[in-house]
């Protein structure tokens, strides 16, 4: 049991260390490490794990780690896997935060980061457009998407005092009202 817990920690540490670009990039690495190489979880259950991770709040990598860890070795396994996937990020970012200010004093670095702003805009916009493309084409979706986008723009550009968390709550309530009856869902 103790060996399994150490193994879980080490595996998810490696997954946390070698995935760039967020949770979705992690999925293929998790498939490889947890599914094919170790056979901890079968392909069918793994698909289910990813579906659960997508439909619960929070970072997808964390959701996957907690689930796989728990199924392998109970609560201790869940803790070990989650800690493993978080730790590389935590250490790397903490170290960067210590020297970022000194680094930013270099003109060439400051200039590079001005360019990076454009990349950030591009990446976030691309992620949003991809999600919009995957939506089923229904009038309700178009309206909900447009309204939430308008609200976020207002909050951002005109300093509206309105928490965007409420948008998600409204979306959930709208979904319950529209599809909760069970007939049309």
Within residues 104-163, the interface with other proteins by CB under 8 A covers: 104, 107-108, 110-129, 131-132, 134-135, 140-142, 144-153, 155-158, 161, 163
Asked whether 64 and 26 are in contact (CB, 8 A), the reply is: yes
The span of 2-10, 31-39, 44-52 binding other proteins (CB under 8 A) equals 44-52
Reported residue count of the chain is 185
Task: Map tokens 């959701």 to a residue.
Answer: 63
Q: Does 43 interact with other proteins (rule: CB under 8 A)?
A: no
Three-state DSSP class for 160?
coil
Smallest gap, in angstroms, from Cβ of residue 24 to other proteins?
A: 6
Among 8, 26, 30, 41, binds other proteins (CB under 8 A): 26
The span of 3-11, 36-44, 83-91 binding other proteins (CB under 8 A) equals 83-91
| C-beta closer to other proteins: residue 36 or 130 | 130
Q: Which of 183, 180, 182, 175 is nearest to 140 (CA)?
A: 175
Please work out, in degrees rounded to the nearest 5, the angle formed at the alpha carbon of residue 123 by the alpha carbons of 118 and 129. Answer: 125
Q: Does 56 interact with other proteins (rule: CB under 8 A)?
A: yes
Q: Rounded CA gap, 89 and 44, in Å?
A: 29
Three-state DSSP class for 102?
helix
| C-beta closer to other proteins: residue 2 or 185 | 185
Smallest gap, in angstroms, from Cβ of residue 119 to other proteins?
A: 4
Q: Which of the 8 DSSP states describes residue 164? A: T
Q: How many CB atoms lie within 10 A of CB 78?
A: 19
| C-beta closer to other proteins: residue 11 or 82 | 82
Q: Does 21 interact with other proteins (rule: CB under 8 A)?
A: yes
Among 30, 41, 61, 73, binds other proteins (CB under 8 A): 61
């Amino acid at each position: 049991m103790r060996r399994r817990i150490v193994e879980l920690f080490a595996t998810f540490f490696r997954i946390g260390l070698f995935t760039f670009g967020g949770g979705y990039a992690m999925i293929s690495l998790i498939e490889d490490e947890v599914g094919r190489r170790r056979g901890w979880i079968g392909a069918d259950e793994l698909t289910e794990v990813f579906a659960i991770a997508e439909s619960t709040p929070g970072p997808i990598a964390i959701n996957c780690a907690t689930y796989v860890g728990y199924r392998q070795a109970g609560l201790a396994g869940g803790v070990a896997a989650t800690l493993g996937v978080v730790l590389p990020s935590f250490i790397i970012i903490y170290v960067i935060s210590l020297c970022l200010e000194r680094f930013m004093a270099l003109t060439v670095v400051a200039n590079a980061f001005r360019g990076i702003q454009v990349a950030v805009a591009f990446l976030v916009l691309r992620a949003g457009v991809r999600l919009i493309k995957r939506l089923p084409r229904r009038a309700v979706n178009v309206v909900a998407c447009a309204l939430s986008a308008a609200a976020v723009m207002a909050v951002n550009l005109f300093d509206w005092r309105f928490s965007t968390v409420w948008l998600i709550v409204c979306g959930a309530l709208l979904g319950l009202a529209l599809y909760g009856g069970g007939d049309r869902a």
